[in-house]
Amino acid sequence: MGRLATAQIRTSHGVKGFMKVHSYSGEQDHLLKLKEVTLKKGHREKQFLVEQVRPCTGGVLLKLSGIDSPEDARSYNSWELWVDREQAAKLDEQEFYYADLFGMAVLCEGEEVAQVISVSAGGTSELLELEREGRRFFVPFIDQFIGEVSLEDRTIILKDRRLLE
Tens-place pLDDT, residues 93-141: 777 888 889 899 999 999 999 999 998 877 788 899 999 999 999 999 9
82 and 144 share one domain: no
List the beta bridge partners of residue 137.
Answer: 130
108 and 141 share one domain: yes
Query: Could you tell me the CATH number of the domain that includes residue 121?
Result: 2.30.30.240
Range of the domain at 109: 98-164
Is 117 within a domain?
yes
8 and 71 share one domain: yes
64 and 109 share one domain: no
Contact 154, 105 (CB under 8 A): yes
79 and 106 share one domain: no
Among the candidates 55, 87, 119, a domain finishes at 87
Average pLDDT, the chain: 91
Closest CA to 157 of 127, 114, 122, 121: 114
Is 41 within a domain?
yes
Is 116 within a domain?
yes
Q: What is the pLDDT of residue 1?
A: 55
**3-state SS, residue 57:** coil
Instruction: State phi, psi for 123 to the nearest 5 degrees.
Output: -65, -50
Residues 6 or more apart whose Cβ sits within 8 Å of residue 145 = 139, 158, 159, 160, 163
Over its C-alpha atoms, the chain yields an Rg (Å, rounded) of: 19
Query: Could you tell me the CATH number of the domain that includes residue 52?
Result: 2.40.30.60
Q: What percent of the chain has pLDDT over 70?
A: 99
Q: What percent of the chain has pLDDT over 90?
A: 67
